Homo-oligomer: A and B are copies of this chain.
Amino acid sequence: MNALLTDLYELTMGAGYVLAGKQHEVATFDLTIRRLPPNRGYAVAAGLAQAVEYLLNLRFEEEEIEYLRSLSQFQHAPEDFFTLLREFRFRGDLFAVPEGTLLFAGEPALTVRAPIFEAQLAETYLLSTIGYQTMIATKASRMTRAAEGRAVVEFGTRRAYSPEAGVIAGRAAYIGGCAGTSNTLSGMRYGIPVFGTAAHSWVQSFESETESFRVLQKLLQEGTIYLIDTYDTMEAARAVANLGKPAFGVRLDSGDLVALSRDVRRILDAAGLSECKIMATGNLNEYKIGALIADGAQVDSFGVGTDLVISPDAPGMSVVYKLAEIQSNGRKRFTAKFSEDKETLPGGKQIFRYEDRDVLGCSWECPSGEADALIEPVILEGELVRPPLAIKKIRDYTMRQLKRLPEEYHHLESPAAYPVVLSEELQNLHRSVKESHQGAL
């Protein structure tokens, strides 16, 4: 299952570790948010459940092993490597912050400690699933905030970077604060509320728009949302007014949403449909949602697609997976990288969250004073010790933390930088690793 869904070099290194007799050495890798994307004051950690599922199900099928054997890169690989693949299971440890945790620049989302090839192999998948879901959950939290209490629904699968990306985007968007998703599989798989009524093609497929509305009402009744911009929006709004109850609302997908929403609101109210909601869609994002509300648009909920699932104002999440410790023959060695602009910190880590700041320390430190240690054991020696939370609980946890975070870190543009300081012990460790490395040169 997905064992080959990894960069080839994870596998060539695996063969190399066996060749060097290092396959039993225990390595510790951190998966860290190197820096926050532009205009982000925090990140909402997401994707842990998929990381856990991946690690617990990692196996190599016989045909996958045969494929590797056929590659030039494995012509000199030791036979023990293929035996290792055949017997492969993840037998290491996973430590992580719970999904929904707010993270800041330089903080790890998870730590893997395992025999070196097991930890190495997982790099590619973990970076992708944590990076992507964290990006989406963060974006969703911004849109939800901009909507000031109005519901925001994730409609992005058609714009997602591959259909499967849409399924997990629905999950991450819900964690970040969306009310639900249009992705039906995401709804079924993760237990998320699903939304959707009809498209322009529905209206077009009938000879008369009114007839298309009538059938929709019969089907969806008090859940009916009419899409009213296929031809003439005002005309369609009057048709909705004539149909009367039951109806949930109407959706506007193009045009001047401020003016249209006000005009439509008047038509609906005049027809006694004041409880009928107006939903807006069409290339929306947190900035446009904020502007619509500021400009007095009469909108009760928003559907967001493209900008939620691809986050074009801050594409990608700068996450890295770096070796921090290695243990061989009972001796622990701390490691770091000193490349220009790409330095990393040695040693397994813990995040101590104080009232007004975070301290990034070594995993074995005790905090001074009142602090929460955010990184918890999830898998120990290949066994799940902390099953993923129900998705609703994850979302509630996100909401509680966002509420506690002071205003200046929420700003949609140029938010303040949350204070994250290194513990004295981590600073000393970093210095000593750097010095001993320079001494060795």
Contacts and interface: CB of A to CB of B under 8 A. Distances in A.
A5 to B, nearest CB: 5
Nearest to A54: B163
Interface string A359-372: 00000000000000
Nearest to A184: B4
Contact of A232 (B161, B235, B323, B441): B441
Interface string A49-79: 0000000000000001001100111001100
A6 interface: yes
Contact of A158 (B77, B128, B197): B128
B160 A201 contact: no
B215 A20 contact: yes
A176 to B, nearest CB: 15
Contacts of A215: 16, 19-20
A2 to B, nearest CB: 7
Interface stretch (A309-317, A397-405, A409-417): A309-317
Nearest to A187: B8
Given A4-B185, A230-B339, A333-B207, A13 B128 contact: no
A158 B7 contact: yes
A201 B13 contact: yes
Contact of A159 (B8, B10, B219, B316): B316
Interface string A190-204: 000011111111101
For the side of the interface on A, what is the size category? 35 or more
B128 A185 contact: no
A127 B200 CA distance: 16
Interface stretch (A21-29, A96-104, A289-297): A21-29
A301 interface: no
Given A7-B183, A218-B19, A27 B164 contact: no
B162 A326 contact: no
Contacts of A253: 339, 342
Interface in A307-345: 309-310, 312, 315-316, 321-323, 326, 333, 335-342
Contact of A161 (B22, B162, B183, B216): B162
Contacts of A194: 8, 71, 73
Interface stretch (A116-124, A270-278, A385-393, A421-429): A116-124
B337 A204 contact: yes
Contacts of A354: none
Contacts of A204: 323, 326, 335-337
Interface of A: 2, 4-13, 15-17, 19-20, 22, 25, 27, 29, 64, 67-68, 71-73, 76-77, 116, 120, 123-125, 127-129, 131-132, 135, 155, 157-169, 182-185, 187-188, 194-202, 204-208, 215-216, 218-221, 223, 229-232, 235, 253-255, 306, 309-310, 312, 315-316, 321-323, 326, 333, 335-342, 437, 440-441
14 contacts: A7-B184, A8-B183, A8-B195, A12-B220, A20-B215, A22-B205, A73-B194, A73-B220, A76-B218, A128-B161, A135-B161, A200-B322, A253-B339, A310-B310
The 5 closest A-B pairs by CB, nearest first: A8-B196, A9-B196, A164-B164, A161-B161, A127-B158
Given A22-B205, A22-B206, A200-B337, 20 more contacts: A11-B184, A13-B199, A16-B216, A19-B215, A19-B218, A27-B201, A67-B187, A73-B194, A73-B196, A116-B205, A120-B201, A123-B158, A123-B199, A129-B163, A131-B159, A162-B164, A205-B326, A230-B339, A231-B441, A255-B339
